Amino acid sequence: MERVRETFNDGVLTYGAYKTIRTESRKVTGKQFVEQGRLFYRALSVRESDYLQFGAMGSTLDLKVKTQMPPALRQIDKDKLIVRIADQDFNIITVDRDNHYLYFYLHKVDGGEKNE
């Protein structure tokens, strides 16, 4: 069976982690986002069953996106990454995958948690 060619033209997401910023006396002054890579994505509609599943886990689902599976992300623990889309940061609730694609379930980071 031949794969259907998909387009990922809803935007570009960057993934990475927060780095703690400290003064010379080692006092924590904030966090900075450190980019580890970029992916084109396609926004997916969120089903009612998705809301119910993550609500039962105590999380709120804000966005669901699909990307291609890059080789660099095969060995990384994706649940520890932060996703940035259009200057908004998202925690990854979970990531589903198949042979060719990643499905990110994202929760928006509150403005108080972010500091650059």
**17-44 pLDDT, tens digit each:** 999 999 999 898 999 999 999 999 999 9
Q: Who wins on pLDDT, 115 or 102?
A: 102
In the DSSP assignment, the letter for residue 109 is: P
Nearest Cα neighbor of 109 from 18, 30, 37 is: 18
Q: What one-letter code names the amino acid at 22?
A: R
Residue ranges per domain, the chain? 11-108
- pLDDT higher than 60, residue 104: yes
Output the pTM of the full model: 0.80
- Whole-number Å distance between alpha carbons of 91 and 106: 6
What is the predicted pLDDT for the residue at 13?
A: 94
Q: What is the mean pLDDT of the chain?
A: 85
- pLDDT higher than 70, residue 3: no
Pairing status of strand 82-85 against strand 63-68:
unpaired
Q: Which CATH number fits domain 11-108: 1.20.1280.50, 3.40.50.10490, 3.40.50.2300, 2.40.10.270?
A: 2.40.10.270
Distant-in-sequence, close-in-space partners of 50: CB < 8 Å, separation ≥ 6: 61, 64, 105
What is the predicted pLDDT for the residue at 115?
A: 45
